[in-house]
Chain A
Amino acid sequence: MNSSFLVGTEAERRLLPGGTLRGPTPYVIAIMTFAMMIVAAAGLALANAAGVVAGAVEHRYVLQLPDGGAGKLEAALRSSRSMPGVIGVEAVPEGEMRETLEKWLGPGGLGEDLPVPALIHLELAPNADASRIGATLSRGMPGARFIAEQATVQPLLGSFRALRWLAVALVLLMAAATSAAVVLAARGALDTHRSTIETMHGIGATDEQVALLFQRKIALDAMVGALVGGALAVAALLLIGGGGLAMASELAGGPPLRGSDFILLALLPVAAVVLATLVARFAVLGALHKIV
């Protein structure tokens, strides 16, 4: 029994017959790895999209005037442009505002006597004091509101965050399900090979020696399963990436998955193999402790 933690000798492999792909373990691991990678990729893409959205509106504010007429919009624009800390000012054209309002009020609903509100988009410098700027701008304009755009998209960002945590929870649940499947497989293998184990114990094999035989067998099964599941997941992601994700990438202003995300995804099959091996080891050692 001169062998390493994962690679046994030819004689050791003969002790536990039954080649790879004979039991359910590789199939379970393949399915779980595939599902984990897809869910994790979706979670990471959502997290990235949320980051892009949050970053885009981080220093953006809106100055909302109840009435943009009678030179009030121009006055507000002048004040905004002269305000220290404001690096960009852009008013929504009055025509555009009217168009938007007509969608709500109907054609002709916006009479000459009804004031047309005005909207000014402001971009502040990263170190600017937003509350001071907002207070100063609102002071001379009754009814004016200074709104952070981040507050507007907060519900969307909240949904993104919830979906990201849901993805994390799903990956963990799938890891737990994989562990449970491996425990069952290890117990099944122990039952199948009970007489071999008893004989080995009787002639002086240690728990470590017996556990190594099983953990190597399950590690090999898990490796095959993780490779197949991982390859299928990569293929599925590339397929999606060729279509929908490319569009999503354009909309979000960046790729849905970054280099570090791909490294994380590539680590999932490795983690599945390590998890299966450790679970098998502890399941076998636990079962062996019930023997004298």
Chain B
Amino acid sequence: MARRRAHAKSCRTRRGGPLSAIVEFDSVGLRYGTGAEVLRDLDFRLARGGFYFLTGPSGAGKTSLLQLLYLARRPTRGRIQLFGQDLTDAPRDVLPDYRRRIGVVFQDFRLIRHLSAFDNVALPLRITGKSDAELEGPVREMLAWVGLADRASARPPTLSGGEQQRVAIARAVISQPELLVADEPTGNVDAEMAARLLHLFTALNRLGTTIVVATHDVGLIARTPGAQLIRLEKGSMTDPTGSLRNPPLGTAQAR
């Protein structure tokens, strides 16, 4: 508790007024163990309400960068600010509060195999203390939205890859996160479902959610006007226009 208070105090001193950036990376590097750095000198800011695609060849460090974004890892150097708070060295007991503000679509879905689709989607709400009565409606609605209303009681092993991915997406967005991080979210779905998911992301973005999608799907990028592209190559970021160092207002803020 004392550490939480100290962290909150230190964060207050770092805040300097209204924030336009939801994510700030300052000279961030990441290495696993004693190996070479998989991410190097990442300096960028993501505007609140922005829509970003993260691209790059396999092994460029996209998943590692996303893991830093959803607080599954800490950088080995540099500073990371999320939601205006420096979380680089934040005590681990404050991290859950921030993780609850981030929706994540994991590349491997990470659905809990023995829970039904309904329970998987309901999990983020249960963690925040919502009762069964409170979460029943939103979860059914979300499952209907991703086209799985009739599969609510099915368990992940009985679902197809595309259905599992939709459950994972429903779970990521059910709590209306401020930041949505998705790792190849359309990798296992057909073109029609990909379009629907993109529509969902766009709708969420209009409501103010900052979206970061790692993808190889050029078509997805082309169908999202206004989205910014972040390109990673061998752990370094290319930002030829400099817009990621000084981001324009996100679409939601621009409105």
Contacts and interface: CB of A to CB of B under 8 A. Distances in A.
Q: Do A and B bind each other?
A: yes
Interface of A: 1-2, 9, 11-12, 14-15, 17, 195-196, 198-207, 209, 289, 292
A200 B123 contact: yes
B19 interface: no
- Of B71, B112, B113, B171, chain A has the most CB atoms within 10 Å of the CB of B112
Given A1-B126, A14-B114, A204 B97 contact: yes
21 contacts: A1-B129, A9-B132, A11-B122, A14-B115, A14-B119, A195-B110, A195-B113, A199-B110, A199-B111, A199-B123, A200-B123, A201-B99, A202-B106, A203-B124, A203-B171, A204-B97, A204-B99, A205-B127, A206-B93, A207-B93, A292-B92
Contacts of B111: 199
Contacts of A11: 119, 122, 126, 132
Nearest to A198: B110
Contacts of B70: 202
Nearest to A11: B126
A287 to B, nearest CB: 13
A11 B113 CA distance: 14
Report, nearest first, the 3 A-B pairs whose CB atoms are least far apart: A204-B100, A204-B99, A199-B110
A202 B104 contact: yes
Contact of B127 (A17, A195, A203, A289): A203
Nearest to B120: A199
A209 B127 contact: yes
Contacts of A15: 112, 115
B137 to A, nearest CB: 16
B76 to A, nearest CB: 12
Contact of A1 (B95, B106, B114, B127): B127
B85 to A, nearest CB: 15
B25 to A, nearest CB: 17
Contact of B110 (A202, A205, A289): A202
B208 to A, nearest CB: 19
Size band of the interface chain B makes with A: 20 to 34
Nearest to B122: A11
Given A199-B123, A201-B96, A204-B99, 7 more contacts: A2-B131, A11-B132, A199-B111, A202-B72, A203-B124, A204-B96, A292-B95
Interface in B76-99: 92-93, 95-97, 99
Nearest to A199: B110
B14 to A, nearest CB: 21
Given A11-B126, A204-B124, A205-B127, A292 B73 contact: yes
B74 interface: yes
A11 B72 CA distance: 25
Nearest to B111: A199
Interface of B: 70-74, 92-93, 95-97, 99-100, 102, 104, 106, 110-115, 119, 122-124, 126-129, 131-132, 171
Contacts of B97: 204
Nearest to A288: B92
Contacts of B113: 195
Nearest to A206: B96
A200 B114 CA distance: 14
B128 A204 contact: yes
A209 B122 CA distance: 15
A183 to B, nearest CB: 22
Contacts of B112: 15, 195-196, 199
Contact of B100 (A9, A199, A203): A203
Contacts of A198: 110
Contacts of B95: 292
B129 to A, nearest CB: 6
A203 B99 contact: yes
Contact of B92 (A2, A14, A204, A289): A289
Contacts of B104: 202-203
Contacts of B122: 11
B99 A17 contact: no
Given A15-B115, A195-B112, A2 B129 contact: yes
A14 B58 CA distance: 37
A52 to B, nearest CB: 54
